[in-house]
Chain A
């Protein structure tokens, strides 16, 4: 008996030590890690564990509450200049101390971007910032071109997380210069100041985090976390059931009951701060009449899609808005509706002759994407639209032949500018891909929405932009998808309301493992 107890105890020892390690089975592992150039749903999973922003927010809260991170304090010394005092005990994963030089380097690589992937991100969200300037080793100033209503929001973006200057410049070529090659190399050998260092990155396959003991804040709860890519839903669920992994991502609603039936497993889900949308090509020769596009939009019963595909757990919006946007949340606007009778009338008015309208979708990229596409074309046919699902994996948003397709519009930061704004700004990604046109009137409304310092003026301008979307629609937000993660019961983790979508936050206070 004693011997049995002894062996049992011995057998449990390595388990107790191993309990601080987890493995995650993810639908997608990122092909690179550079917070500056990335804004994908795949990448956003990974930055928060290894990188810090100057200003952070309390992620346990839905509303924005700013907390010090790499900057301990900040103030506006002029309407267009913010001065930040930096934390002094911060070191990067290679041991180098973080100073104002690193901060200025990280910010200016975006504000004054020359590397093309940075240029895109800088333009769509950081365009108002002109430069960062060093005052002394632990003080920096950020200059904006115009008065900025969203200072803290934009300074806390993933894209301007802080990276090391000396290390990055020395990666390739001349160690004194920041070359494109340095940034390309950094994306495969990333380094920040966060609580976990990236110990191994195999693009698209595997990512290993190890606890960074030199972290300036509360030390990481996990010794090691490994993320492996398991693309197929069924394989991910199997890997979780067999104990091969501890957490899996992107669990479709249809799988939830199967997982909950297993006494050792549980799921955690949330209506993610992101819209699955249908986009329509304003410039397709057959779709130039807005009445056709209005009908395509009015024909879709989004509540039925929610009930059927998301078990009613998704959120169907009346306009392009989210409660995370705080004072700018405007659920009272009605921009998008279901009205099949009006759809039929509009088609008749527009003289629709039954030509085929294609709806592009990838086979598996969006949860329920293919199912929704088939349901949507069926709803179209109910009002007389001859729709066809076109399954293809390549992105067709820049193809002039594209008529309609699915897409997602994440909330990159909690403001309408961070969601609708990033995608549908004048000269933004949609207009530059040639499927959306703006005129001087739209641009004027946009300017008032983006830069008014008075909240009511911003709300009014945004409502006017929504009216434009209603009159000449190019996008229909379908729903906020209900995204779930499944895990062993011994893992205490759940997505937090203050994060952008999909962040795997393993910092202190965000995850713990029950000793079992």
Chain B
């Protein structure tokens, strides 16, 4: 009888909470590991990511026949160390995604702030741009821009930055409008605080937590976008490795040398997964509305 009650009654809420905590803790640990690996890639990698060894091409990872000593995860189609390239690729992919996300944050945040504070036609214009951005499939736009402008790291960062700005703009505008209606802002204005002062000292601090959450969520999307563009040959140019270009250039070797593709593909998966979990965790801990649930 007791068992039946157990089954019917909802489990104590802290149980599911613990499960989630474990996943989150594992993810955070993984995220830290990936970040350390990316930052210290030059110290960690056994080989230069560009160093070729033409006579030991396409060698399999440790433990397989024909393994070339030293190349833990095997070598690629030019005899470069897959592990070293993957770590450098991770580093470049993360750096690009980070730069892109920061750019998107600045651009979207600024436009959202202006729209929220100024209202009127400025707001209409910004929100029309936001709607346009949402309506157009961005990968297509990115492909077009890179095809016309040619690919360089600068253009790539710009494209990645433009990829997610509209989300920030919407969040910031919404928050600004909500905050503007709060009594404390009314009080500040009455006390003689100017528009710039109000924006910087009263509105911005209240925006930080939703922006951090959005930033993390956007980061994984940008990682995917960068990988897609590089996979298609329009992003990072060879011989420079990025996770996406390693998958793209290695796909002809899938049947004979799958490790060239699997290593970066696995890293993309881990990266987006952990960043996503991290975003959820940040939201749980910073969003006031969720705090007591």
> Which residues from chain A sit less than 8 Å from chain B, CB to CB?
233-234, 237, 252, 254-255, 257-258, 304-305, 307-309, 363, 370-371, 374-375, 377-378, 389-392
Q: How far is the CA of A375 from the CA of B255 in the complex (A)?
A: 23
The minimal Cβ–Cβ distance linking B168 to chain A, given in whole angstroms, is: 33
Q: Which of B52, B55, B254, B255 contacts A374 (CB 8 A)?
A: B52
Please name the residue on chain A nearest to B54 by beta carbon. Answer: A308
7 A-B pairs whose Cβ atoms sit less than 8 Å apart in the complex: A258-B255, A363-B233, A374-B52, A378-B51, A378-B239, A389-B238, A391-B237
- Is A254 in contact with B256, judged by CB distance below 8 angstroms? yes
Is the beta-carbon distance between A374 and B54 smaller than 8 angstroms? no
Distance in angstroms from B278 CB to nearest chain A CB is: 34
Q: Is the interface of B mostly helix, strand, loop or mixed?
A: loop
Q: Which A residues touch B249, using CB under 8 A?
A: 370
Tell me if B57 and A308 are in contact (CB < 8 A): yes
Interface string of B42-58 (1 = CB under 8 A from A): 00000000111011011
Q: Which residues of A contact B58 (CB under 8 A)?
A: 254
Residues of B within 8 A of A391 (CB): 233, 237-238
| Chain A min CB distance to B230 (Å) | 12
Q: Is the interface of A mostly helix, strand, loop or mixed?
A: helix
B233 to nearest A CB, angstroms? 5
Contacts of B104 in A (CB 8 A): none
- Whether a CB of chain A sits under 8 angstroms from the CB of B252 is yes
In contact, B54 and A304 (Cβ under 8 angstroms) = yes
Partner of B252, one of A234, A308, A375: A234
Q: Which residues of B contact A375 (CB under 8 A)?
A: 52, 54, 78
Shortest distance from the beta carbon of B150 to any chain A beta carbon, whole Å: 7
The distance in angstroms between the C-alpha atoms of A390 and B52, with both chains bound, is: 18
CB pair B238 A233 closer than 8 Å? no
Does B81 interact with chain A (Cβ within 8 Å)?
no
Closest B-chain residue to A374, C-beta based?
A: B239
B108 in contact (CB, < 8 A)? no
- Total A-B Cβ pairs within 8 A: 54
Q: Kindly supply a per-residue 1/0 record for chain B positions 64-100, scoring 1 wherever the CB is within 8 Å of any chain A CB and 0 otherwise.
A: 0000000000000111000000000000000000000
A390 to B150, CA, bound (A): 10
CA A375 – CA B239 in complex, angstroms?
9
Minimum CB–CB distance from A264 to chain B (whole Å) comes to: 16
**B177 at interface by CB-CB < 8 Å:** no
Apart from A370-B249, A378-B78, A389-B237, 11 more pairs, CB < 8 Å: A234-B251, A254-B58, A254-B252, A258-B255, A308-B54, A308-B55, A308-B78, A371-B78, A375-B54, A378-B51, A392-B150
Within the complex, what minimum Cβ distance (angstroms) separates A314 from chain B? 13
Name A361's closest neighbour in chain B (CB-CB): B238
Is residue B253 contacting chain A, with contact meaning CB distance below 8 A? Answer: yes
List chain A residues, Cβ under 8 A from B238.
370, 374, 389, 391
Specify the chain B residue showing the minimal Cβ separation from A370.
B238
Task: Say whether B57 contacts A389, CB under 8 Å.
Answer: no
Instruction: Verify A378–B233 contact, CB threshold 8 A.
Output: no
**Residues of B with C-beta under 8 A to A378:** 50-52, 78, 239
Q: Is the CB of A307 within 8 A of B54?
A: yes
0/1 string, B206-248, CB within 8 A of A gives 1: 0000000000000000000000000001000111000000000
Min CB distance, B89 to chain A, in Å? Answer: 15
Determine the chain B residues whose CB is within 8 A of the CB of A308 once the complex forms: 54-55, 57, 78-79
Cβ B54 vs Cβ A305 within 8 A: yes
Name the contact of B77 in the complex, choosing from A237, A254, A257, A305 (C-beta under 8 A).
A254
Are B55 and A307 in contact, CB atoms less than 8 angstroms apart? yes
Interchain nearest-CB distance for B15 vs A (Å) = 48
Which partner residue on chain A sits nearest B249 by CB separation? A370
Question: Which residues on B sit within 8 Å (CB–CB) of A371?
Answer: 77-78
A305 to B55, CA, bound (A): 9
Q: Smallest CB-CB separation from B251: which chain A residue?
A: A234
- Asked if A234 contacts B254 (CB within 8 A), the reply is yes
Chain B residues contacting A309 (CB-CB under 8 Å) are 54
B253 to chain A, nearest CB (A): 7
A residues less than 8 Å from B255 (CB atoms): 234, 237, 258
* Cα A344 to Cα B238 with chains together (Å): 25
A305–B78 CA distance with the chains assembled, in angstroms: 10
Residue of chain B at shortest CB distance from A391? B237
| Residue numbers in A under 8 Å from B233 (CB-CB) | 363, 391
> Which of B51, B239, B252, B254 makes the CB contact (< 8 A) with A389?
B239
Contacting residues, chain B, for A234 (C-beta < 8 A): 251-252, 254-255
Chain A residues contacting B79 (CB-CB under 8 Å) are 308
Chain A residues with CB under 8 Å of B254's CB are 234
How far in angstroms is the closest Cβ of chain B from A476?
18
- What residue in chain A is nearest B150 (Cβ atoms)? A392
- Within the complex, the shortest CB–CB distance from B79 to chain A, in Å, comes to 7
Nearest chain B residue, comparing its CB with the CB of A305: B54
In the complex, what residue of chain B is closest to A259 when comparing beta carbons?
B255
* Alpha-carbon distance A392/B148, docked complex (angstroms): 11
Top-8 shortest CB links A-B: A308-B54, A374-B239, A378-B52, A258-B255, A233-B252, A363-B233, A258-B256, A304-B54
| Cβ–Cβ contact B78 & A252, under 8 A | no
Q: Determine the chain A residues whose CB is within 8 A of the CB of B78 once the complex forms.
A: 308, 371, 374-375, 378
Q: A307-B54, A308-B54, A308-B55 are in contact. Are A377 and B239 (CB under 8 A)?
A: yes
> From residue A300, how far is it (CB to closest CB) to chain B in Å?
12
Collect the chain B residues with CB atoms within 8 Å of residue A255's CB: 252, 256
Distance from B88 Cβ to chain A, minimum over Cβ atoms (Å): 15
Q: How far is the CA of A234 from the CA of B256 in the complex (A)?
A: 11
Q: Shortest beta-carbon distance, B44 to chain A, in Å?
A: 22
Which of A254, A307, A377, A390 meets B253, CB within 8 Å? A254
Contacts of B237 in A (CB 8 A): 389-391
What is the chain B residue whose CB lies nearest that of A363?
Answer: B233
- B286 shortest CB reach to chain A, Å: 43
In the complex, A308 Cα to B254 Cα: how many Å?
19
Closest-CB distance, B169 to chain A (whole angstroms): 35
Residue of B nearest to A392 (CB): B150
Q: Which of A237, A257, A304, A374 has the most CB of B within 10 A?
A: A374
The minimal Cβ–Cβ distance linking B109 to chain A, given in whole angstroms, is 35
Residues of A within 8 A of B150 (CB): 392
Distance of A172 Cα from B208 Cα, bound (Å): 71
Return the chain A residue nearest B253 by Cβ: A254
B residues in contact with A233, CB < 8 Å: 252
* Shortest Cβ distance from residue B128 to the other chain A in the assembled complex, whole angstroms: 36
Write out the residue numbers on chain B whose beta carbons fall within 8 Å of the beta carbon of A374.
52, 78, 238-239
* 0 or 1 for each of B115-132: is its CB under 8 Å from A? (1 = yes): 000000000000000000
A391 to B52, alpha carbons, bound, how many Å?
A: 19
B142-168 with Cβ < 8 A to chain A: 150
Cα–Cα, bound, A351→B172 (Å): 57
Find residues 236-290 in chain B having any chain A CB closer than 8 Å to their own CB: 237-239, 249, 251-256
